[in-house]
Structure 1
Amino acid sequence: MHRAMRGLIQEVLCGVQRDGLPGAHHFFITFDTTHPDARLAAWLRERYPSEMTVVMQHWYEGLDVTDEGFSVTLNFGDAPERLYVPYDAIKTFVDPSVEFGLRFETQESDEEDDDHPTDPAGPKPVAGKTEADVVSLDSFRK
């Protein structure tokens, strides 16, 4: 199931690479900065030692989508930085313009929280107000 949902992310990003972001679409992508294949500037890794959320909306450059992950240059306070995010490192992928999102559970969080088992089906569509699966977008708004 995780592979299929990550394949969906790849397909969406391939469309953006080819045609750009359509209309009001934009993405909040949270990923594990400790993933061995994730590549980001040392200062970003220091600032975000476990996970980081990036926004692809108004300004991004050089989106390159592969079978394993994607590279993109994003602007961090007038400091453009190139990132590489493997699909396996993605924790959440949200497009608030259409109230769509995916959340990937990790083995670590499953083991740490035995009192609250997670659905073995894997990623969850985020829509409506399902208590366990809601991803709050308020923290991403300015």
Structure 2
Amino acid sequence: MSDDVRDSLIPYDEIVQDALRAVVGRVLSQIVGYDSLPGEHHFYITFKTQAVGVDIPAHLIAKFPDEMTIVLQNRFWDLKVEQDHFSVGLSFNQTPSILTIPYASITAFVDPSVDFGLQFQVSDDDDTQPEPHDEADNDRPEVISEDGSNVVTVDFGKKR
């Protein structure tokens, strides 16, 4: 069978990624109204700072020109969950900020308290590698479990 027959006209990879990103929105909607997470839960959310629709303070974009990880655990406020994005108040160096993050910009969502994680591919039109950057106070080491327990990695490579 030729490769042409195997090429799908249905964008399965995009459909699956969108569905899994909806999981992030659904999880966040469970904690709307809270200012800290119940029990030992805490979320690491990594996103592309330059993605369309991301709205964060300029000083954070300057410090994290490509990717940033935020932590939702004990001190956040005004969490609003919408169909295609969420916004949340966080403090950086004791400066309160509101961040708006589209689900399409998220590259990872992890709750290490229950060994759960999702990883996503964000399409880069130019196929360049992320720029190196200093770690933020809320950056985390890679938490994705080696044994793969409760971790879903979505990695649809480009056909060459």
TM-score class normalised by the smaller sequence:
0.7 to 0.9
Among 32, 55, 58, which residue is 1:17 paired with?
32
Among 107, 126, 135, which residue is 2:123 paired with?
107
Say yes or no: does 1:77 pair with 2:101. Answer: no
The alpha carbon displacement at 1:36 in A equals: 1.9
The alpha carbon displacement at 1:21 in A equals: 2.1
In the TM superposition, 1:1-142 aligns within 5 A as 1-18=16-33, 21-108=37-124, 126-130=144-148
Higher-helix-fraction structure: 1
The alpha carbon displacement at 1:112 in A equals: 6.1
Which residue matches 1:138? none
The alpha carbon displacement at 1:128 in A equals: 4.2
Give the SS at the match of 2:56: coil
Query: What is the number of residues matched between the two proteins?
Result: 121
CA distance, structure 2, for counterparts of residue 107 and residue 64 of structure 1: 25
Which residue matches 1:121? none
CA distance, structure 1, for counterparts of residue 33 and residue 146 of structure 2: 31
Please say which structure displays the higher CA radius of gyration.
Answer: 2
The alpha carbon displacement at 1:106 in A equals: 2.9
Structure 2's unaligned 5+ residue stretches are 1-15, 130-143, 154-160
CA distance, structure 1, for counterparts of residue 83 and residue 46 of structure 2: 19
The alpha carbon displacement at 1:105 in A equals: 1.6
Deviations, residues 17-66 of structure 1 (Å, cap 9, x unaligned): 15562211010000000112000001111111001000001100000000
Identity, % of aligned positions? 38
**CA-atom RMSD, angstroms?**
2.6
